[in-house]
Every structure is written in structure tokens, then in C-alpha cells.
Amino acid sequence: MTLNLSASPHVRDRWTTSFIMHTVLLSLVPAAVVGVFVYGLHALFVILASIVAAVGSEALFCLLTRRPLSIFDGSAAVTGMLLALSLSPSTPVIYPILGSMFAILVVKCCFGGLGKNFINPALVGRCFLLISFGTAMTKFPSLDGVTSATPLKVMTDALDAGVRLNLDVTSMFLGTANGVIGSSIVALLIGGLILWGLDIIHGEICFSVLGAFTLVMGLFGGRGFDPAYLAAQLCGGGVVMGAFFMATDYTTSPVSRLGQLVYGCLIGVLGALFRILGKVDYFSYSVIIGNLFTPLIDMYIIPKPYAYRKKAIRAASGVKLPPLKQRIPKPVIALALITLIAGVALSGVYSMTKGTIEAHEAAAKAAAYKAVVPDAEKFENVETADAAIQALNGGVYGTNFGKAYINEAFAAKDAAGNLVGYALSVTSGDGYDGDITLSLGLDPEGKVLGIAFTTLNETPGMGMLAKEPAFTDQFVGKAVTQFVHNKGGASGDNAIDAISGASTTSGAVVNAVNAGLDFFHSVMQGGN
């Protein structure tokens, strides 16, 4: 009889090792994509070199020892990817190659291969590089190419100096701050939650790591439970990657659920203490120490045997509803968390770009005002106009102009401070495809100097003809109190010929201009 032995634990599952490893590899792709997008092609070369070196080292070992080729199970590629994502984007390509070779040949293959290593190979490879090439491994380029400290190091220095520091936690969360290649927390969380939702990794480990780390940092970190401070600590230094992708390695983590909780808390506490007392990030070492405690944890925390009637008294009491975590499938919870994280990431992107967007909008407005009052060098507020606009409180202006809104009104002055006209921003909600916002320029007596659109999203070839000179020039040079929208052909000095096939659009423009003229004559004229 042939006896077939394999590495423990001997638990059969519908998923193969190859499937699990390739799923883990795919879950790391979002972080890799963000890293390459932010840091450039050199980050891609580091990732590829690390993966190729890891897979090649395992293939070479199998060839030399005449063992079956094991590179297709994906474990070596995962090791290479994890190592690469934990390195600086400016790391010379030779370093990830050396680190991957050490991780595979020394830590994995020399102890028997997959399932027999006692510590995480990728982490040991990183620590090997930190010890051997410390200076090169701790250089992190900022996005302008200049070598600078990571946000975590900047925050630590500020704490030591007693200086209050406002870090851009949003950039750290999105992965656009200087750091390792896999520093995008949102990408790591999405990948990690997918693995948790598929029950590939155990939530007892990753969530206990994050919880224990946060608790210790809040108690002893020096800033209490300040949300911004704790968020920055969680987003910096590899805590999330360690919790979801390093500490959850099957071979080096405990078997029982309680043991996994103890193991995760140990790693979180050590990681926080190392960061507080060591003043640098030693989270990699906290995971390795946790790996070394795994056999001890498994020795003293023994899982309940199969067929053990857990909570038999509760079942006998007639309670039929299963626990909440059984009523709500784990993939549903994971999907909800991923959706929440994606929403936070989108709001973060908005907050990061909000200033730029507002600056561009302000520049567009200034250009539009300049276009309608060419002689103006500056635009100043008019107190009476500001008070009237504030009194409107965003409401419709007047009763004869449709849904017209007065947004802004300024006095236009030349370089010497002389009044050369007025500029108004008016919106009409009567456009065919949405709001139409335009700038209206008037001379001091109220003659129209010009109109320019800041928002016009009408039908191409029809409503968009409103911005053409053939239509806008009808307003220029006319000193009237109100224009008439004439659909049958222009007649009279105040008549505006409608756009053929787009009378709704041209009518909305006429209403907006008329609202601006009325506001000028009734509020602004003589108010400056």
C-alpha cells in the first residue's frame, strides 16, 4: 500500500492551492497598478524583476534537486509580488532580485517548499534587504523626483519636536504620497476584503491586527485617539499590507480561531510598540515575531474537535435563528465594505482636486469677465449687488425671466481704478439640456459689451450654435432695458432672432440677459 503524506494541516477544501495563490496574486494587482501609475515605469520594472526572480529561483531549485516543477501553483509569484510592493519605487532592480532569491531559496525551499516555511518568505526577503542595503532601501522619492521622507517619518519627527503637523491623510489613503510601491491603502483594502469575502483569509487575523495596533497607538502614541492621527498611522508603514497579506499566510499563522485572534493582537501590539519606541516602522519584524510564536499558540490553544456540539443548550432552548454572521453572507459584507471604501476614495479624490477645480473655475470666470469687458483689469464687488444677491438666497430672480438666477455681479475697473463697466454672471435653468450660465458685460450706462458662456451643454449643431457670433453679436452694442425673443425673424433694435431648431436654448439665453439687465438697472446702476 502506498502512503501519501503532505504538509499539515490536512483539511480538504473545494479550492486548490493554485486557485488560492492566483486569487491572492490578482488581489494585489490593484495596488501594483496604482503604484506604477503614481511612480512610473521603474516601479513596474521592480515588480517584474521581483516576480521573475522568485519564480526563476524556485524553478532552478526544483531542477537542481530533481523535484517536480512547482512554479505553477503561484506561490512564488505571490512572494515576488509582495516583496516588490513593500519596496521603494526608486529601489535598484538588483535588490528585488536578490531579495526574491533569498526569500525563495533560503526561507522557502531549504525548509521543504510550500507549506513548510516557518516564517513569511516575502517579509524575510524584505528584512534581508533592509539589513544588507539599509541606506538604499530607505530612500523614498516624492512625486517630483526629489528624495524625501515618507509621511510617517515626517509625522514621527514632528511628534519628537512637539510640532503640530497636518498630514494629507487622503494622499496616503489613495497612495499618491511618497512611500513604497504598494502604498495605496484603498487598493490594498479592496484586494484584502475580496480575499476575506471569499473566505481565503481569516478576519480574526487581519481585523485583530488593525484593532490592536489602533488601540495601542491611541493609548501610547502621544496624540490620544485623534482620528486624523490614527488614520495617518494606519495608512503609513505597511500596516494594512501586513494585516491582510502577510500575517494571514496559512503556513505561518495559527489554526484555531482563538489562536488567530491572539496571534493578530500580538502582531498589532508589537507593531505599535515598535513604531512608538523605535521611531521607525518595524511592522515587518512584528509579523515575523508573530510567525515564530505560531507553534506555541497552536500548542496551547487547541481547536475543538469535529462533531463537538457547540452551544447545545442554546439549540435545545428553541432558538431557531442562526447567528447574524451566518444570516448575512460574508461576500455581501465584503462587497458593502468595498463599496464604502470606494466611496471614501472618490470623496478623497474630490477633496484633493477640489482646490484645483475651483482655481480652474475661477480662472474660467475671470477669462469670461475679461472677454465681455475687455478694458477691465480688475473686478471689484458692489455692496448693493452683493446684498441683493444674498437676499435672493439662491432663488429665482424676478417673475418675467423664467428660471433665471443672479450668481455674481462686479464693477469692472481699469488699471487706474476708473470704472469701465460691469460684469454679471447669470444662470438660466430653462436650457434644453440643463443650465446655461453666461457672463454679461455692460458699460457704465448699461449698453451691452458682450456675452460669454461659462456653462453651455446644449445639443451639438443646434443649441450649441448659441455661442456662435451670429447669435451673440445680436446683443452687442445695444442699450435697451429688455430684449425680445423673436421666433419669426428679428425686427426692432431690441429683437433677438431665435436659433432655428433651438428656440428653447435661444429663449433661455435671452431670459438670462434680460435678468442681468434688469438687475443692473434696478440694483447696480449708481450703486458703485
Place of cell 431670459: 511
Is 70 buried (19+), middle (13-18) or exposed (0-12) by CB count in 10 A?
middle
Q: Determine the 3-state secondary structure of 154 from DSSP.
A: helix
* Nearest CA among 434, 393, 424, 432 for reference residue 513: 424
pLDDT of residue 400 exceeding 90, the answer is: no
**What cell was used for 204?**
480574526
Confidence (pLDDT) at 307: 47
* pTM (two decimals): 0.62
Q: How far is CA 312 from CA 181, 304, 324, 348, in A?
A: 50, 14, 18, 48
Please tell me which residue, 333 or 274, carries the higher pLDDT value. 274
Question: CA–CA separation, 231 vs 229, rounded Å?
Answer: 5
Q: CB-based contacts of 319: which residues, under 8 Å, 6+ apart? A: none
Cα–Cα–Cα angle for 136, 28, 242, nearest 5°?
Answer: 60
Q: Are 27 and 192 in contact (CB under 8 A)?
A: yes
Q: Determine the 3-state secondary structure of 322 from DSSP.
A: coil
Question: CA–CA separation, 340 vs 433, rounded Å?
Answer: 32
Percent of the chain clearing pLDDT 70 (strictly above): 79
Convert the pLDDT of each residue in 405-431 to its tens digit.
Answer: 999 899 998 888 899 999 999 999 888
**180-184, 305-309, 480-484, 507-511: which has the minimum mean pLDDT?**
305-309
Confidence (pLDDT) at 121: 92
Task: Tell me the sheet residues that pair with 419.
Answer: 413
Convert the pLDDT of each residue in 325-365 to its tens digit.
Answer: 555 566 667 666 766 666 666 656 656 666 666 677 777 77
Q: Determine the average pLDDT of the residues in 25-29.
A: 94
Task: Tell me the sheet residues that pair with 467.
Answer: none
